[in-house]
Amino acid sequence: MATDTWYRGDDVDLEDPQTRYPRPEQQGSSRLQPPGRTEEMGDQPDHGEHSYEGSGRLIGRRAIITGGDSGIGRAVAIAYAREGADVLLSYLPEEEDDAQETIGWVRQTGRKVIAHPGDIRDETLCGQLIQRAVDELGGLDILVNNAAHQMAQPGGIADISTEQFDQVLKTNLYAMFWLSKAALPHLPPGSSIINTASVQAFQPSAPLLDYATTKAGIVAFTKALAQDLANRGIRVNAVAPGPIWTPLIPATMPAEQVSSFGANTPLGRAGQPAEVAPSYVFFASAQSSYITGEILGVTGGKPLT
């Protein structure tokens, strides 16, 4: 999807961030079925498949990435593998096709990849996921709590059922708590926990009331856990994406909103997963060794206020 709008300055190639990617548009009149499949998207996201180049920043590291089948999770998996890390990918069974695509990209790097389908709303499964990573990767030093569920409801709270509220909280908050707690005995000093928050934690919208509530909770969880684990040498940070083009968008938003998705950012477009993944690499690497309890916005210029 990248354009050819380049500028030459001295010996450096520069690219205008406003036009690096065109505005994505979901083709077709019907909304994708949640959680959405990448191959069904009219405009395919960029996960860094052909652009991300590693530099050895995570050689020998062992990572778990939840929601690792597509979107931000796929981009992080590709980036981590190209930086030298082995990964375990957690995803829903119905996302197997997307997961296999991600697995293929990781295997091309020569790194080890483990597929672990299942619903992380199950506390027992969360514990099994951690143990499998420890057993089959030989340890664990990066936990990326990325999986999330959202379903926009134009009518706000009146249209949010208890069932939906429960699903969003269990996926976005409970699973993060269970996974972090289960991982703790296995994380050595120097390890990192990286959570996916959202601009919605700071600028919540009524149709995403339940989702925004969980993302605000993730911000508080991240800051509190960072204080809790600092004396163990474990850093905890979060990435707060803005509007990022992933299968979740055309699968959970009204069709009329999809074509303008991201247009209200200062950069005027939605971001791509490949533009978010470097933040997760930064937080996992030694380059951020003096940073913990931080929330890094990747929002196209929308402030986290």
What value does the mean pLDDT take over residues 91-106?
96
Q: What would you report as the CA-atom Rg of the chain, rounded to the nearest whole angstrom?
A: 18
Pairing of strands 142-145, 192-196: parallel
For the stretch 6-63, pLDDT in tens is 334 455 678 889 888 877 665 443 455 665 566 656 678 889 999 999 999 999 999 9
Architecture (CATH level 2) of domain 56-298: 3-Layer(aba) Sandwich (3.40)
Q: Would the pLDDT of 206 be above 70?
A: yes
- The residues that are catalytic are 211
